[in-house]
Amino acid sequence: MKTLELAQQLIRFESTSRLTNVPVTDFVEARMKEAGCVTERIDYIDKFGVAKSCVVGKKGEGTGGLGFFAHNDVVPADPWYITSPGPFEPVVNGDKLYGRGSCDMKGSLACMLSATAAVDASTLKQPVYVTCTADEEVGYVGARNVVEHSKFYREMVEHGTKGIIGEPTMLQVIHAHKGTFGFRVISHGIAAHSSTDKGINANLKMIPFLGELKWIYDETMEDPRWQNEEFTPPTISFNIGINDKTFAGNITPPQSICTVYFRPMPGMDGMELIERVRQLAELHELEFQPEHMNPPLYVDPESDFVQEMLKVAGQTASKTVAYGTDGAVFQELKEKVVFGPGDIAKAHTHDEWITLEQLEAGHQMFGKLISHFCQ
C-alpha cells in the first residue's frame, strides 16, 4: 500500500463528525484485511441518530505487541481556502498534500495502514493492532465505545500492548497532554416585546453569575495550583463563551447560554471546578449541564517505554502538548505516547495540509516501531 495514495483516498470520504463515518470505516476495514489483519467492528448510533462505526484490526498471533490508534472523523471545512477543488478532494501542490483531515489525522492513519501492510506476518513475534475510531473531534465518543465493547482492546489492556496515539506531533514523542472539561449554564427567561413588561430578560439573570465566574477564571490564571510550566500555555485555558441567541433588539431574550471549556493538566482536579460552578449556578437559579470530562494523559517521561520510544525516534527528551486525544479515554493502557506525522498548527485550518516528507517519515517510523516492538 502506498501511503500517499491511501491518504488521498481517505480524504475523499467526507467524514465530518456530524455525518456518518461508516463508508470511510468500511474502506479502512477493507485495507486492514488486505494487510492481513483480523478485524472487529464496533458500531453504534450517536445521540443525533447518526450511524457511526469503529474498527480494530490485529495482525499476527499472540498478545502484547504494539497498538496504533487513529480516528477517521474530521472537523467541518467551512470555509475552505479555495472554491474548487473542495476540502474533500485531495490536492498535491509542491511538497504538500492539501485536504480536510490530511494532517488531523488521515495522514497518520494512512501511515499506520501502509506500515502494517508492509510487514510480513510470519516475522511477527507479537501482534500489531490498528484501532480507528469515530467521533474523536466531538468528545472521544468512538473511543469510549471501543473501551466498552472491543475484545481486542481488552486483550491489549490485559497483556500490556504498547500504544501509539497517532495525532500530529511532527513525530516528536509526547508523554503528556491536557484534559478536556466543559459545561453549559443556561438562564431561562420569557420572550416578549421589549416595550412591554411581559418578558423576563435571561441575560439579566445571567449577569450576576458571570461576575462570580470571572473570579474563578482569574483564580485559574493567577493561582499556581492551576498552572504547570511543563505545558504551553501553562494555564488550563478556562475559555468562556456567551450566546443569548436573540437576533432582534426589541425582543426580551428568553435564553442566555454560557459555555465553558477548560483543560486541566496532570495532577489537577478538574471536578473541583465543575462542582464549584454547579453550586454557583444553583445559587443563581440557573440550569447547569456538564458536557466533557476527559482526564489528562500522563506517562512518566523516565519510564522504560518512553525512553525506548526516544531511542527508536532518535530523540533525547519527550514533550507535552496542550490539545487532547483519544488517549484520555484509553487510560487502562499504561504504556502509551502521542506520536504521529504532521504539524498540529495545520489541524482544523482553512487550508489544512501535511508535507509529503512527513507522510513518508511517518510510514518509515511506524515501520521501525513494528520492527522494534513486534519482531
CATH T-level topology, domain 180-294: Alpha-Beta Plaits (3.30.70)
Every domain of the chain with CATH number 3.30.70.360 lies at 180-294
pLDDT digits over 91-150, tens only? 999 999 999 999 999 999 999 999 999 999 999 999 999 999 999 999 999 999 999 999
304-313 helix and 356-374 helix, angle to the nearest 10 degrees: 130
Coil, helix or strand at residue 311: helix
> pTM of the entire structure?
0.94
At 51 the pLDDT is 98
Tens of pLDDT, residues 39-88: 999 999 999 999 999 999 999 999 999 999 999 999 999 999 999 999 99
Question: Which pLDDT tens digit goes with each residue over 325-351?
Answer: 999 999 999 999 999 999 999 999 999
The confidence score (pLDDT) of residue 295 equals 95
pLDDT of residue 126: 98
Q: Which CATH class is domain 3-177+297-374?
A: alpha beta
**How far is residue 368's CA from residue 163's CA, in Å, rounded to a whole number?**
14
Q: What is the per-residue pLDDT across 164-218, written as a single tens digit (0 to 9) for each?
A: 999 999 999 999 999 999 999 999 999 999 999 999 999 999 999 999 999 999 9
Residue 1 has pLDDT above 90, yes or no: no
Average pLDDT over residues 239-255: 94
Q: With a cut of 90, say whether residue 6 has pLDDT above it.
A: yes
**pLDDT computed for residue 350 by the predictor:** 97
| Residues in a beta bridge with 58 | 38, 129
CA atoms within 13 A on the CB side of 356: 12
Distance between alpha carbon 238 and the CA centroid of its chain, in Å?
18
Q: Write the CA distances from 37 to 23, 58, 113, 130, integer angstroms.
A: 19, 5, 10, 9
Report the amino acid identity of residue 12: R
Tell me, what's the pLDDT at 292?
A: 84
Angle between helices 270-283 and 202-222 (to 10 degrees): 150
Question: What residue spans in the chain does CATH classification 3.40.630.10 cover?
Answer: 3-177+297-374
Q: Determine the pLDDT at residue 293.
A: 92
In angstroms, rounded to a whole number, what is the distance separating the alpha carbons of residues 144 and 158?
Answer: 17
Rg (CA), the chain: 23
pLDDT of 297 strictly over 90: yes
pLDDT for the residue 255: 97
